[in-house]
Amino acid sequence: MTATKRTAASLRMARRTWPNLSRQALIRLREIATQHDFSVGAGDVIYLDSGWYVTHTGLLGLASRNRCAGIHVRPVSNFCDPSSQRWAFRATVYKSRTCRGFVGYGDADPSNVSVLVHGAEMRVAETRAVNRALRKAYGIGICSVEEICSLAGQPTSSPESKKLPQPVNDNGNGGGRTVRDRLCQLIRQHQLDATLVKAYATDFCGVKALRDATKEQVENFVAHLADWAEKDRNAVLCQLNSYPIQRGGAA
């Protein structure tokens, strides 16, 4: 596929995933996709809070395409406090064997990460440092989604949001109000498209319509989605984007 076709495919995918994109947002996406060969379908860029953000996946792909010689990462000891989960890293990107390196710093602590990744602040800080160094090395002007605090302010009211849903009754299909509320919460937390989630849930449960799924099937899907989205949101986006949008009610 040529670069022009890849850009066109990204624009089509963006319109499907974010139907209310403005003309200016689409023009900006075309510029980003053309300049850096980013793909919406591959999860290289996402649209949040009226702006485009590059992802860790997109930056690593860009480095690979440009034959990056290496990335060196080390903690900045003076700014690290393991007891309070406060971490800072310094990353250096070498575009070639003769490159002197492009340096970026990243920090993370419980106050500037999503509650979904509490306990993983060290890895978040490392990722932020790598992202910043890669953006410097390859002239990426837009911020990476991993660098923004709490993933663009996603509503995460309490740590209990990570718990698996508990059934409240044995009546009816769809898993009960608790499970439906949990699914809606996951959609809000991870900025997912409700229509695509419904299509994925229907496919996952192996039914023609989601209303035909049993309570246990829906509970299993919600648990699966919660775990996968926490571990690799970009992979979830790629899975959802494989489904054609069908107009209708949300799950």
* Residue 80, C-beta contacts closer than 8 angstroms, at least 6 positions apart: 86, 87, 88
pTM equals 0.61
pLDDT (0 to 100) of residue 249 = 42
pLDDT (0 to 100) of residue 190 = 84
Average pLDDT (206-218) is 85
pLDDT tens column, 138-171: 999 999 999 886 443 343 333 343 343 443 334 3
CB atoms under 10 Å from CB of 86, counted, come to 18
Asked if residues 122 and 90 have their Cβ atoms less than 8 Å apart, the reply is: no
Residue 147: half-sphere exposure toward Cβ, Cα within 13 Å? 20
pLDDT (0 to 100) of residue 223 = 86
- Is pLDDT of 71 > 80? yes
**Residue in the block written with tokens 């209708």:** 248
| 70-75 and 87-94 beta bridge pairing | antiparallel
- Is pLDDT of 66 > 60? yes
Q: How many residues are listed for the chain in this entry?
A: 251
pLDDT tens column, 24-65: 999 999 999 999 999 999 999 999 878 999 999 999 999 999
pLDDT (0 to 100) of residue 163 = 40
Q: How far apart are CA 221 and CA 96, in angstroms?
A: 45
**Domain assignments of the chain as residue spans, ordered by start:** 3-54, 63-137, 159-240
Give bridge partners of residue 105 from the DSSP assignment.
90
Residue type, 245: I
> Exposed/middle/buried for 13, CB within 10 Å: 0-12, 13-18, 19+?
middle
Predicted confidence band of residue 245 (pLDDT cuts 50, 70, 90): low
Rounded alpha-carbon distances, angstroms, from residue 70 to 57, 92, 130, 226: 16, 8, 11, 33
**Residue 216 corresponds to which tokens in the numbers above?**
């246990």
- Is pLDDT of 227 > 90? no
- φ, ψ of residue 97 to 5 degrees: the values are -70, -20
Share of the chain above pLDDT 90, in %: 46
Please tell me which residue, 199 or 163, carries the higher pLDDT value. Answer: 199
pLDDT tens column, 84-100: 999 999 999 999 999 99
